[in-house]
Amino acid sequence: MQRLAIYDMDKTITRKATFGPFISHVIRHHAPWRLVLVPLMGLTSLAYLLRLMNRSQLKEWNLRLLLGRRIDRQKAAQIARSFANDVVARNVLTGAVQRIAQDKAEGYRIILATASYRLYAEAIAERLGIDDVIATELVAVDQETLVPSIDGTNCYDVEKLNHIRRWMAQQGLERATCHIRFYSDHVSDAPCLDFADEAFATNPHTPLRALAAERRWTVFDWR
């Protein structure tokens, strides 16, 4: 029996979402001139709220405004490393770190499954001792260049479960031979929580807390 402990990232492992701080980090430390583009990010958010673009398009446009039309892999890796250092120093919940250590001690393979971009999620996972990362991917032009377009689908809601299923197939893992724990703060991860053998509503917002009570999922609050 393979033991898998799958964690969402934003507000599950971290105190707050990571993309806003990533924007701030890039502007402060790597591209101060892009501060002039922040109002345009506000407009994209408004377009999303008005349903003029979907969540994936919102993410793509904001990343394009932040890093440009073509992203150098080496520069992106440098930015990701410095941002990950900030996240681990200031934005990680102690309870999450302790639970990851407990799962490891019990023989679980630790997996991060996040809607955030692999661009920086992988660097955060590495610093937390997480074994594998399932995340939103960017299109690669070649070995040196990425573009701010999502490769495949945004790793969110039921698509996150689809990403997990594909990753398991790639790893040669059959559902029947796995015991899965899943941790999340948000009701959008209900498909993944249903998929798990043990579901943990972690730092849940109100809709997930209500669903957890209905389905008798364990609730953790690490805040």
pLDDT for 173 equals: 98
Separation between Cα atoms, residue 46 and residue 180, nearest integer Å = 38
- What are the residue ranges spanned by the domains of the chain? 2-220
pLDDT for 55 equals: 94
Separation between Cα atoms, residue 117 and residue 17, nearest integer Å = 12
pLDDT for 11 equals: 98
Task: List CB contacts of 198: < 8 A, sequence separation 6 or more.
Answer: 179, 180, 181, 182, 218
Q: Report the side by side order of strands in the sheet with 71-72.
A: 71-72, 145-150, 138-140
pLDDT for 163 equals: 98
Could you tell me the two tokens for 168?
A: 């398991």
Sign, CA dihedral 114-66-223-95, equals positive
Separation between Cα atoms, residue 166 and residue 6, nearest integer Å = 14
Mean pLDDT of successive 10-residue stretches along the chain, which has 223 residues: 98 97 94 93 95 95 95 96 97 98 98 97 98 98 96 98 98 97 98 98 98 98 96
Could you tell me the two tokens for 58?
A: 């919102």
Closest CA to 5 of 104, 98, 136, 93: 104
Say whether domain 2-220 belongs to CATH 2.40.37.10: no
